[in-house]
Amino acid sequence: MRSFNLLRYDLKKNERTARIEGLSVLLLSIFYYIFFYMDTLHCFWRTPTIKENMKILAQQNVSMTDSFLYLTGGMLPMQDLSEAADVQYPVKWLVIQLLILFFTAEFAREDISGGGLQILTRVHKQGQWWLSKCIWNLITVCQAYVILFLTWMICSLLTGLGFRGTINDLCFQGVFNTSPAVGEISAGQAVLIFIILPIFTTGAISLVQMTLTLFVRPVMAYLISAIYSILGIFAASPAFLINYAMSTRSRACGLYRFSPGTGLCLCVILMACAFVIGNMRLMTMDIINLPHMEKERSWL
């Protein structure tokens, strides 16, 4: 079977699952935007009625940049433990990361057990099978983010937020408890830190997670990915790739010095390493006896 046929097989097998995943991301995005709008409305609350406050909000030059900072900003690192009580933890941002990683957690293992094992044994070159899994993994990540960003953009336009690069000081302070270091983000920078970097970062971590499932069970691999992502929230270090998915930590926002270019390079290197290690692992695995081995090592 060629890589194209394997991709077509994955598409047909996962068509229903992909629709459910897409719908869940759509509903989550709408739900989060309602939170954003209400939080922003609260920042400019001046009168007793919602209608009058909505008019006030429309005059405050809140832009789509502010809405995407809310969605992808994550959290600024704490300088010391005394700040813990005042920090707004990025639960919404983290849920998006963990949800997408959950979508891709069992891609490889599904075809190494049950009926999927027949597909793998028919492939003359296991590298082709692994390549198709990696491509489908990245397609799933891209699908989730495309739905998320398009929904967010449409909701922003419907509520009167224009395509401006300005950052509203009051909105930023209300979400991140600090003043922005820059007043505007260029269009190129916005696309890079709001759209491209989150996709690449989550895609790289997702591929590593899938590679880990060739060594341990998907549940264990997912837990490792989740812990790694959570640790990255508190540690502002390039060792935690998730820092590059948080737009407030980008050099473009001026508060931290995480370079988008470095982040993209690290993501590409990590993706390549995950593919090579996964391919090497497949060459040494006893795939036929793997289901019996897993029963004996149920703790993994």
Is residue 226 within 8 A of residue 98, CB to CB? The reply is yes
**Hey, where are the domains in the chain?**
3-296
According to the per-residue pLDDT averaged within each range, which of 111-115, 139-143, 292-296 is highest?
Answer: 139-143
Tell me the average pLDDT across 233-256. Answer: 88
Of 98, 89, 73, nearest in space to 256 by CA: 73
Per-residue pLDDT at 137: 92
Helix (H, G, I), strand (E, B) or coil at 186: coil
Residue 188 has, within 13 A of its CA and on its CB side, a CA count of 2
Name every residue whose Cβ is closer than 8 Å to that of residue 123 and which is 6 or more positions away in sequence.
Answer: 1, 6, 129
> Is the pLDDT at 235 greater than 90, yes or no?
no
Q: How does pLDDT run across 83-133, given as a tens digit for each residue?
A: 544 566 788 899 999 999 999 988 777 666 655 555 655 665 677 888 888
> Is the pLDDT at 1 greater than 60, yes or no?
no
Between 60 and 244, whose confidence is greater? 244
pTM (2 d.p.): 0.87
Backbone angles phi, psi at 289, to 5 degrees: -95, 5
Cβ density class 70-81: b for 16+ within 10 Å, e for less: bbbbbbbbeeee
Per-residue pLDDT at 88: 67
User: Please, what is the average pLDDT of the chain?
Assistant: 83
How many whole angstroms separate alpha carbon 278 and alpha carbon 281? 5
How many whole angstroms separate alpha carbon 66 and alpha carbon 62? 6
Confidence grade of residue 287 (pLDDT, cut at 50, 70, 90): low
Tell me the average pLDDT across 246-271. Answer: 90
> CA 55, 61, 63, 65 torsion: positive or negative?
negative
Q: Mean pLDDT check: name the lowest of 6-15, 184-193, 238-247.
A: 6-15
Is residue 204 within 8 A of residue 97, CB to CB? The reply is no
Q: How does pLDDT run across 13-41, given as a tens digit for each residue?
A: 777 888 999 999 999 999 999 999 888 88
Between 170 and 68, whose confidence is greater? 68
Helix (H, G, I), strand (E, B) or coil at 166: strand
Contacts 24+ apart (CB under 8 A), 257-260: 260/189, 260/192, 260/193, 260/196, 260/197
Tell me the average pLDDT across 177-188. Answer: 85
Helix axes 64-72, 169-176, angle to 10 degrees: 10
Tokens of 150: 């398009």
Tell me the average pLDDT across 251-261. Answer: 85
Tokens of 107: 């891609």
Per-residue pLDDT at 149: 96
Q: What percent of the chain has pLDDT over 70?
A: 83
Name every residue whose Cβ is closer than 8 Å to that of residue 206 and which is 6 or more positions away in sequence.
Answer: 100, 101, 104, 137, 138, 140, 141, 225
Per-residue pLDDT at 81: 45
Confidence grade of residue 293 (pLDDT, cut at 50, 70, 90): very low
Q: How does pLDDT run across 188-231, given as a tens digit for each residue?
A: 999 999 999 999 999 999 999 999 998 888 999 999 999 999 99
Residue 11 has, within 13 A of its CA and on its CB side, a CA count of 9
